[in-house]
Structure 1
Amino acid sequence: MTALSIVIPVFNERDNIAPLVHEVVRHLRGRVQFEIVCVDDRSDDDTREVLAALRAEVPELRAFAHAARCGQSAAIRSGVRHALAPWIATLDGDGQNDPADIPKLLDARDAAEAEVKLFAGWRVSRQDSGSKRWASRWANRIRQWLLRDNTPDTGCGIKLFERAAFLDLPYFDHMHRYLPALMQRAGWKTVSVPVSHRARGAGQSKYTNVGRALVGVRDLLGVSWLIQRSHVVVTDEIPAPRPVEQGR
C-alpha cells in the first residue's frame, strides 16, 4: 500500500524537475512506500516531454498535465486528487525545497498528536534575493496579524498533510499559501517544522513582489472573511434507548 504521495506542481521547469525527482527517490526509496505525482500546469517549454521520459526511469513516478493553465493551487489540488496515499508531501518544482527534509516532516508527524493534520516547512535560512526576503517578511507579519495562524512561513512549498483533511478545505486560487489558517479553521492543529532552503538551480521565478502583493491583499481579505464566518461543528450520535428487560 502506498503510504505517502509526493505532489509536485510544475510550470516551465524542464531543467529542474528531473534532478528533483531523482533526489526524492534517493531519500525515500527503502524508507517508505511512496509515489511521486507531478502535475504540469501547461508549460511553455518541454517539461511535459521531460516528465514522459522520466516515467521510463522512475517506476514511482506518475505524471499528469493540465489542458489549460490553471495556477499552482490547482496543480497541487489535481495532484492530491490523483494521489493514492492517505498522506501528502508537497514540493515546489523549482528544486528550492530539499527532499531530504521530507523524512524530518514524517518524524514530526509520527511524534505528534492525531489532531495535527498539517506540518508546514519553515525556511529558517532563505536563499532568495534581499527584496524577496523583505517582501516575504512583511507579508508574513501582515498575515499573522490578520489571520492569527501562528505560522512563521506559509509560503514554503514543502508541507506534509492528510489528504482527506486537505480535500475537505474550501478551494480557491492561491489557497496553498493559506493552508495553516484553513486547516485551523476546519478544527485541526498545525505545526511548523524548520527546513532548509536552496537557491534555484535553473530558470526563473514565476512571481514578482508586486504581483504577489496585489493578489495577496485580496486573498488575505477573503480568507479572513472565511474564518470570521466559520464554526467548528462537533456532532455526537444519538444512541437508541436501551431495551427494557421483561419481568422487572
Structure 2
Amino acid sequence: MSAAYRRVLLKISGEALLGNREYGLDGETVERIAKEVRHVHDLGVEICAVIGGGNIFRGVSGAAAGMERASADYMGMLATVINALSLQNALEREGVNTRVQSAIPMSTVCEPYIRRRAIRHMEKKRVVIFAGGTGNPFFTTDTAAALRASEMGCDAILKATKVDGVYSDDPVKVKDAERYDRLSYMEVLSRDLKVMDASAISLARENRIPIVVFSIYTHGAFAEVVQGRGRFTIIGD
C-alpha cells in the first residue's frame, strides 16, 4: 500500500527506549524501533525524528530535586544526544543512512542543527534525528518536535507512545478510560489531555500539522499508521 504522508516527524519518548529496564537503554528495544523506522523508510517516506531523554535524565525531575531548572534541562538535552546516537547506530545496522543534528553544537559526534541541510538530507532519503531539544531550557522535546516538524514542512507528527491512542485517563491505571479516535487541537487543550504539552499542541495547530498518536510497542504499527491503517488517534482541526 502507498503511504498517506510524504514526510513525517516521529516523536519518541526516552522512556520508550527503556524496554524492561528501569534506567538507560535497552538494546533490543532500540533495534526493534530501528526496524520499524526502516519499514517506513522502505515505503519511500521521508523521516525525521525527535527523541526525549527521560530514560537517562529528566530536567523537571532534576529541578524538583533542588537543581537549578536551566542546568537540569541542559542535562536532559545531553541525554537526548546519547539516545539519538544509539538510534543512529541501530538504523545504520539496518542499512538506513542517518544523520544526527543537535541544537547544542558538538561537532565531534554529530552535525549542528541547520534547517536547510536537514531538509536536503531527507530529500536524499536519509533519516535525520534531531537531538538537544530546542537548544533552550524550559522547553520540552514535545515542543522541539512541533518546532522541527514546522521547520521541515512535515505532513504529520507521529507521536509514539506506550498505548494505541489518546485516552481520557491513564488506561493502565483506569480500566474504563475512554479512548478517542479523533480530537481537535482545542479539545486536547481544554480537556488537559496529557498528549503533548500545550505549547507543542498550539504550535502544531498554528501550522496545521496533524498529530497522530499510536503505540510504538505494537509490531508494524508505525508503517500501518503512515499508510492510514491500524489503531491510532488523530489530532487536527
TM-score by length of 2: 0.40
Q: Which structure has the larger Rg? A: 1
